[in-house]
Amino acid sequence: FGRLGMLAQRLASGLSERPLDRRKPPAELAVEETFDVPVGTVEEAAYVAERMAGKLHAKLAGRNLACTRLGIYARTLSGEELSRVWRCGGTDGGTNGVPVAARGIADRVRWQFDSWLQGEQRPQSGVVIFRLEPEEVVEASLLQLHLWRGGAGDNPADDDADERAGRALVQVQRLLGPEAVVTAVLGGGRGPAERVRLVPWGEARGDEETLRRGAGAQQEVPTWPGRLPAPSPATVHPEPVRAAVVDRRGLPVRMTERGVLNAPPARVAVDGGPLREVTAWAGPWPLDERWWDPRAAGPAARIQVVVSEGPAAAGRALLLRCREQQSPRWQVEGEYT
């Protein structure tokens, strides 16, 4: 449909007419302070953070810019380098929403400093150099509010609730570390577990190319040969569950060197339970990966099966993986709803 079709699609999706023009900000926007007396407490850091946040926000506002990625850097008296890059510009930790205010910048600096002090690898001495550096900025007028809130007639309580939720998650990170709060990001991979990676709250969720294209751009998932077709399992087990698959004669179902099953699956047992009748199945989808790894060598494939749970119960849909060189041969990777 050409340019007009793309424009109509963006507007119908609640996006702006064009993606955000993210760019590397000029170096003079950074704010840095040096201290004769090292800063070593959260109270001292809070005072410093408020002052530096005000300066940074004033510089950004003077150029009609909004910061979407903020770098917080520190150097201790003993020469240790501390750094963290935060996403900002939205209450959900993302890059949609209103431009981050001076208070938001100060909070992030204070939380980060507190996280450094309370972390497992605490700095050996106080901070003597503190720097706030916008890693990425956009024109403030281009930042848009979420489609379902933040506009005229919306309930301000929703914004407050989102803000409180975001602050609560950061507080959890302060207590337990940045890796304690994560969100799932869909990426490339063949299996369901491989396609999902966990990103700490506040960190960039996409690759640099996606960030440059803008918040409204759809991240393209690379095509992986042998990738499991849709739909994906609703539940993916952190550790595969052992299973047994047999044919009508009760003999084990195996993978051949040609990547096919030696017999149709007739019954499946999960985690040592009773054998259940297979009412439907699909596959196999051969796995051809990590040929250099002896543990992954040999025929391998995935199949989808639906097993009976009784006359009055709905079937149980499972994603099974077979690898001839592993024990047990069959494992449950995920379950469908």
Tens-digit pLDDT profile for the chain (337 aa)?
566 676 677 677 766 555 545 556 778 889 999 999 898 887 888 888 888 888 988 898 888 888 888 889 999 999 999 888 887 654 334 444 444 567 777 877 887 887 787 766 788 888 899 999 988 887 766 554 444 444 444 454 555 566 667 667 777 776 776 778 888 887 777 778 777 888 877 666 654 444 444 444 444 555 676 677 777 888 888 888 999 999 999 999 988 878 788 999 999 999 988 999 999 999 888 877 666 766 666 678 889 999 987 766 668 899 998 887 666 689 999 998 7
Residue recorded with tokens 């999960």: 270
**Environment class of residue 282 by beta-carbon count within 10 Å: exposed (0-12), middle (13-18) or buried (19+)?**
exposed
Cβ–Cβ under 8 Å, residues 302 and 321? yes
Cβ–Cβ under 8 Å, residues 327 and 333? no
The pLDDT assigned to 220 comes to: 53
The pLDDT assigned to 179 comes to: 75
In degrees and rounded to multiples of 5, residue 28 shows phi and psi of -70, -10
> What stretches of 110-220 adopt beta strand conformation (E)?
127-139, 182-186, 196-200
Coil, strand or helix at 259:
coil
Q: Given 3.40.50.300, 3.30.1490.100, 1.20.1600.10, 3.30.2130.30, which CATH number is that of 2-186? A: 3.30.1490.100
The pLDDT assigned to 91 comes to: 39
Measuring CA to CA, which residue among 169, 159, 157 is closest to residue 101?
159
Q: Are strands 196-200 and 182-186 parallel, antiparallel or unpaired?
A: antiparallel
Q: What is the DSSP string of 228-255?
A: PPSSPPSEEEEEEEEEEEE-TTSPBP-B
Domain range annotation of the chain: 2-186, 235-336
Q: What is the DSSP string of 63-87?
A: TTEEEEEEEEEEEETT--EEEEEEE
The pLDDT assigned to 223 comes to: 65
